Amino acid sequence: MTISENTKGLVLAMASSAFIGSSFILKKKGLKRAGATGARAGVGGYTYLLEPLWWAGMVTMIIGEIANFIAYIYAPAVLVTPLGALSIIISAVLAHFLLKERLQKMGVLGCLSCIVGSVIIVIHAPQEHTPDSVQEIWDLATQPAFLVYIATIASLVLALMLYFEPRYGHVNILVYLGICSLMGSLTVMSIKAIGIAIRLTLEGVSQVAYPQTWLFVTVAVVCVITQLNYLNKALDTFNAALVSPVYYAMFTTLTIIASAIMFKDWSGQNANTIVSELCGFITVLSGTIILHSTREQQPVSSQGSVAWYITGDSMKGIEEHLITISNSHYTEG
């Protein structure tokens, strides 16, 4: 019995979602263990690099990404990409049982909205032309429209890093994940260029000598490192059941926008397709707002405590928990 190529792609895409969804939980547990013995990733610590469970999550994520990459070889993107939403469900279910992070009913609705909206966007996204060389991708990357997009992304990322992160990073999930998603859209474009370079080189047309190839490699490395850093902060600070769907929705949306601008795929679409895409964007935005508004509140400790982080003679930060006084135990003298 011969297995069709679409079936192979379907199996690989589903396996990819399982690995990636599980990786969120492994990394979260690793971050929790690391935070118990040193500075948390959310306050700039890197002790998680010494935690085996975090590395297990990293390896699991890499396996999932490799499976996802191979899936695109066998099946079309319209089949593979929407299945990435399965990682959200897997992550949320595992977080409920393994991390005891309860997802409220409205949170479930928000999760479903993110999935439905993202699937609508992907299904109705325009087909892109696949470049035949790194030079062709370079020409697309240096066209005025995409250069404006790059400048916009760079400005937003710098604003989030320098202004919003110090003030709102620990209370607004969109700050960390915004950085991840914005950089992620550039990562996908660079990875696509690298993939084409590898394919052409294996076919006998070497792309190693082209400086553009190495520039794309540099951009991909910088973007991936930045994504991992801020994804760790998001996982360490917020509920894993919320990080996964919000990140998926924002990343998918921005990647489709970047691809459409770079490859000029928006031209030639009919009105029905455009309306469907707009509905997808609105659905994703609504789901993100619902998820953010229903973020599970952490219980306040009844004991007062002060945690100090000091290096040398300088105080890096103070984390204070206020003493809660119950009215039922309070009596006026």
Residue 78 has pLDDT above 70, yes or no: no
Asked if residues 175 and 247 have their Cβ atoms less than 8 Å apart, the reply is no
Mean pLDDT of the chain: 77
Model confidence at 304, in pLDDT bands (50, 70, 90)? very low
pLDDT at 283: 83
Top-confidence residue, 5 or 150: 150
C-alpha 232/C-alpha 239 separation (Å) is 12
- Residue closest to 246 by CA, chosen among 284, 294, 293, 283: 284
Please give the span between the terminal C-alpha atoms of the chain, in angstroms, as a whole number. Answer: 85
Q: What is the mean pLDDT of residues 170-175?
A: 91
CA nearest to 128, candidates 21, 259, 248, 257 = 259
Query: Tokens representing 168?
Result: 């709102």
Arithmetic mean of pLDDT, 99-119: 78
Say what the pTM is: 0.65
Residue in 85, 92, 79 with CA at minimum distance from that of residue 28: 92
Beta bridge partners of 305: 321
Low-confidence winner among 141-150, 182-191, 281-290 (lowest mean pLDDT): 281-290
When computed from its CA atoms, the radius of gyration of the chain, rounded to whole angstroms, is: 22
